[in-house]
Amino acid sequence: MQKKTQYQIIIEVIWLLIIGCACFAILYPIVSKGEYKFTFINVFFIGISILYARFIVLFKDIALLQNKWVRIFIFLINFHFMIWSAIRLQDMIPIWEGQSIFGYMYQLYNEMALVNRNWLLNYVRNEILLFGIATIVMSILLNMRILVSFFRKNSIRRNAMMNDLG
């Protein structure tokens, strides 16, 4: 393997570790209180929103995104992520409005003081709402970024062909 490829793999692994640490840090106040049913959804929202934000900002520097077939695959899979995220977020809203999230957080309701329950409920609500919406927005922005990259490449090719003809 070339040094450049090894370097890129190391950077991707480091970013995955950073995303994992961010997920752990954000979910620790929730998971440390007991078993939580929505851990997978939260990890998905946090991970995808951070990963896609990185893809948007560092689009030209990420070797994975230089392949047009990878970009097409990500573009198509984003529609699934957007719909899935919107459905999951919509499923969570009645739980918050009914203040029944503790039914999904086993062993918590009787063990916590009222002040702690309210703080944890607000934290869970704000955390899922923030990263759920961020996942949807980042998916839309990444798809727009991918479309812009295709238009730019086609524009460069078209200009090069026009210069060759002229």
Q: What is the pTM of this model?
A: 0.79
**In the predicted model, what is the mean pLDDT of the chain?**
81
Q: Is 148 exposed, middle or buried (0-12, 13-18, 19+ CB in 10 A)?
A: exposed
Q: Give 67-109 pLDDT, tens digit per residue.
A: 889 889 999 999 888 898 889 888 877 766 655 555 555 555 5
Using CA atoms, how far residue 92 sits from 38, 61, 89, 96, in Å, is 10, 36, 5, 7
Q: Give 113-126 pLDDT, tens digit per residue.
A: 656 767 777 788 88
Residues contacting 143, CB < 8 A, separation 6+: 75, 78, 79
Q: Where along the chain do its domains lie?
A: 3-165
Residue in the block written with tokens 């009645």: 94
